Amino acid sequence: MRILVVNDDGYFAPGIRHLAKVASKFGEVFVVAPDAPRSGQGHAVTLVTPLRLHELGTEEGIHYYSCNGTPADCVKLAVKVVFGGDHPDYLFSGINHGSNASSNIVYSGTVAGLIEGALAGVPSVAFSLMDHSLQADFEPVLDYVEEVIRKCIETGRKDICWSVNFPKLPKTALKGIKVCRVAKAYWDEDAVERVDPAGRKYYWLEGDFIRKDDAPDTDLAYTDQGYVSLTPLHFDWTDYAEMERLKGLF
Amino acid sequence: MRILVVNDDGYFAPGIRHLAKVASKFGEVFVVAPDAPRSGQGHAVTLVTPLRLHELGTEEGIHYYSCNGTPADCVKLAVKVVFGGDHPDYLFSGINHGSNASSNIVYSGTVAGLIEGALAGVPSVAFSLMDHSLQADFEPVLDYVEEVIRKCIETGRKDICWSVNFPKLPKTALKGIKVCRVAKAYWDEDAVERVDPAGRKYYWLEGDFIRKDDAPDTDLAYTDQGYVSLTPLHFDWTDYAEMERLKGLF
């Protein structure tokens, strides 16, 4: 069994090393990950500059590669170059340093890696820990990662596309897994103005996360309460209810 | 009425100029667009480098700004800097030089601009012409652009998030608008290998578009037949059927 592991924080991030190690209990693991952080790169692909892929070596049986592209590029290059055109049996993305709950999925490179796998028909799972720090403690969540990977494999389904979020809590405080939906929210970015030494203005985006959903059955609500959230995703973005309404309009 | 117009091909692209001109029949138009092509950048946002915004001037009553970021950055900067924190009344994205039908929505900066508007509660429409050329002929589709903008405004709804695709056809061959769903498909990229002068390998992604959906009610099927497709999109990516199934698994 061949498993592709990707992320958006870079091949050197502790999160991907932990995920690769857990995944290696189930098969031969190939890490193909960005050579620098690519958070917030969404589903970007690199079409106008050349891509590089570096084989970094094998550690504890895990094969490491770095790529100068985005998470989606990593998946595409892995399939064609590392696996010689065959698809891996499973794709796992993460463990991300930071939340991918709620509307973060739109911007997330971790989730883009997940969806890139699922688009190609590979059963795929993304994992994210709600702690941005490079020193984040992943130990509390590793048993859950293993449980989710085991169930992903045991179900035997090809259409798996799950996003898992872990609250930042000690292991004893984690209450179990809740399957749930994505909460409605959005990032209301402020544009913080600065002036460079030449007197020219520039801006930093600085976000306020605005919740628009207080229902109890969402990834935000469950992680707030200490649960691990598991949200199955899909990539048919058609709004079917609106489609029916519009058929009378056009 | 204030209208924000964005794209991913850059402020200089003919497609955005045509869209701005049609939109200016309905209100005051502010074009805030990338300073270079950003196709395939998905919903990337710029968080680790500073953003620049340049006021380029006003032409035929249309205000032009360029930004060094992605389409999503353009929307965020426009709201905060150009509109001083208020939202525009409408957002129109495009007219893209190239298709955004089917799974192209995942990678599209044009669609990211659309969704960024819709996430903020602004009624938003994306327009794409199935012709990548910078010399593409937009004249055949401009009456349709005007009709869709008019209907977007007339409905008076805040939750509009429509993606419109035009086949590359002369005006007389266009058969009208069909409201429809997004076709299932994926890009199966090949990694074309080259060697640089220093003897190091590099790769170009080159895609084969694989259709997985022959049904007659999709954006691909209708544009194949000469119709303009209009697909309402949403950004709750929860797979509800899978969610119910999984509740028994975890």
Specify the pLDDT at position A103: 94
* AA letter at A180: C
What ipTM did this prediction achieve?
0.93
State the average pLDDT over residues B228-249: 94
pLDDT digits (tens, 9 = 90+) for B178-233: 999 999 999 998 999 999 999 999 999 998 999 999 999 999 999 999 999 999 99
pLDDT digits (tens, 9 = 90+) for A108-166: 999 999 999 999 999 999 999 999 999 999 999 999 999 999 999 999 899 999 999 99
pLDDT digits (tens, 9 = 90+) for A155-213: 989 999 999 999 999 999 999 999 999 999 999 989 999 999 999 999 999 989 999 99
Specify the pLDDT at position A189: 87
pLDDT over threshold 90, residue A17: yes
- Do A231 and A162 form a contact (C-beta atoms < 8 A)? yes
% chain B with pLDDT above 70: 100
Q: What are phi and psi for residue A165, nearest 5 degrees?
A: -120, 135
SS3 letters across chain B = CEEEEECCCCCCCHHHHHHHHHHCCCCEEEEEEECCCCCCCCCCCCCCCCECEEEEEEECCEEEEEECCCHHHHHHHHHHHHCCCCCCCEEEEEEEECCCCCCHHHHCHHHHHHHHHHHCCCCEEEEEECCCCCCCCCHHHHHHHHHHHHHHHHHCCCCCEEEEEECCCCHHHCCCEEECECCCEEEEEEEEEEECCCCCEEEEEEEEEEECCCCCCEHHHHHHCCCEEEEEECCCCECHHHHHHHCCCC
Residue A244, number of CB atoms within 10 A of its CB? 11
Measured between alpha carbons, how far is A48 from A11 in angstroms, rounded to an integer?
23
Q: Which of B51, B186, B249 sits opposite A202 (nearest CB)?
A: B51
pLDDT over threshold 90, residue B116: yes
Radius of gyration of chain A (CA): 19
Specify the pLDDT at position A68: 97
Q: How far is CA B128 from CA A21, B65, B95, B105, B131, in A?
A: 44, 21, 5, 11, 9
A231: contact with B, CB 8 A cutoff: yes
Provide the token pair at A39: 């958070």
Chain A residues within 8 A of B103 when measuring between CB atoms: 119, 235
**What is the greatest pairwise CA distance in chain B?**
61
**What is the greatest pairwise CA distance in chain A?**
61
Residue to substitute from B155, B238, B249, interface A, most A β-carbons within 10 A? B238
Provide the token pair at B201: 């390998």
Tell how far CA A184 is from the center of its chain.
18
State the average pLDDT over residues B76-88: 96
Q: What are phi and psi for residue A76, nearest 5 degrees?
A: -65, -45
Specify the pLDDT at position B189: 87
pLDDT digits (tens, 9 = 90+) for A44-77: 999 889 999 999 999 999 999 999 999 999 999 9
Output the pTM of the full model. Answer: 0.95
Residue A209 pairs in a beta bridge with A187
Q: Does A50 sit within 8 Å of B202, measured CB to CB?
A: yes
pLDDT digits (tens, 9 = 90+) for B126-182: 999 999 999 999 999 999 999 999 999 999 899 999 999 999 999 999 999 999 999
Q: Which of A45, A162, A235 sits opposite B40 (nearest CB)?
A: A45
State the average pLDDT over residues B105-112: 96
Nearest C-alpha of chain A: how many angstroms from B75? 10
pLDDT over threshold 90, residue A244: yes
% chain B with pLDDT above 90: 96
Tell how far CA A176 is from the center of its chain.
20
Chain A residues within 8 A of B196 when measuring between CB atoms: 50
* AA letter at A166: F
Provide the token pair at A172: 């004893």
Check residue A205 and give left, alpha or beta (phi > 0: left; psi -120 to 50: alpha).
beta
Provide the token pair at B160: 């509009």
pLDDT over threshold 90, residue B37: yes
Residue to substitute from A236, A244, A245, interface B, most B β-carbons within 10 A? A236
List A residues 81-120 in contact with B (Cβ-Cβ < 8 A): 81, 103, 105-107, 112, 115, 119-120
Residue of B nearest to A82 (CA): B191
- Domains annotated for chain B, with CATH where assigned, are 2-182+216-237 (3.40.1210.10)
pLDDT digits (tens, 9 = 90+) for A93-102: 999 999 999 9
